[in-house]
């Protein structure tokens, strides 16, 4: 994760509190963050649909796993994908994209829930189950974003 200097626009790593170029301490306004929340929602939407399709269609339909097993595996996959989407979002974006990841996760999963349930693409989740997943998903997305920001702060080794 990084921040852009308000004075000169230099992108600085989070590990420094002063701009490397001009010594400024003010970060540029974060007007692009809402866009990241919306853009990120697409990632979470894809994660949700992928998990439901893999669980319902691939595991349950093609591999003929018992419905319960396929269902649990699709939830596990959803958790992994949501975490991964949080990491990707944080790494792609400037600035601290933590809250944005949580918001994006809710928007994306809601959209995914609506699409899967209205199109009958896969069995999908019940409303209560989805609500639980959505709340857990916020936590995972935020955790993923923290991980992504942390990874971004690592000094690059020889790249």
Residues in the site for Zn ion, rule: CB under 5 A? 5, 7-8, 10, 19, 21-22, 24
**Nearest approach, Cβ of 148 to Zn ion (angstroms)?**
24
Closer of 21 and 63 to Zn ion (Cβ): 21
Q: How far is the CB of 19 from Zn ion (least distance, A)?
A: 3
Distances from the Cα of 19 to the Cα of 13, 50, 58, 152, angstroms: 9, 41, 50, 17
The vertex-137 CA angle with 135 and 143, nearest 5°, equals: 115
> How is residue 91 written in tokens?
């790494």
Contacts of 126 by beta carbon, 8 Å cutoff, 6+ apart: none
- Compute the least distance from the CB of residue 2 to Zn ion, in Å: 13
In the bound state with Zn ion, the residue whose beta carbon lies nearer, of 28 and 49, is 28
Which C-beta is closer to Zn ion: that of 15 or that of 119? 15
């Amino acid at each position: 994760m990084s921040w852009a200097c308000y004075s000169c626009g230099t992108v600085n790593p989070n590990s420094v509190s002063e701009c490397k170029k001009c010594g400024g301490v003010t970060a540029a306004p974060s007007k692009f963050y809402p866009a990241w929340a919306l853009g990120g929602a697409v990632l979470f939407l894809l994660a949700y649909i992928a998990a439901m399709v893999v669980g319902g269609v691939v595991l349950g339909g093609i591999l003929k796993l018992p419905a319960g097993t396929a269902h649990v595996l699709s939830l596990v996959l959803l958790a992994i994908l949501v975490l991964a989407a949080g990491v990707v979002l944080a790494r792609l974006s400037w600035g601290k994209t933590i809250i944005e990841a949580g918001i994006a996760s809710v928007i994306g999963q809601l959209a995914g829930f609506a699409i899967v349930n209205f199109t009958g693409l896969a069995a999908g989740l019940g409303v209560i189950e989805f609500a639980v997943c959505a709340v857990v998903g916020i936590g995972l997305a935020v955790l993923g974003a923290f991980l992504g920001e942390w990874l971004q702060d690592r000094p690059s080794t020889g790249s």
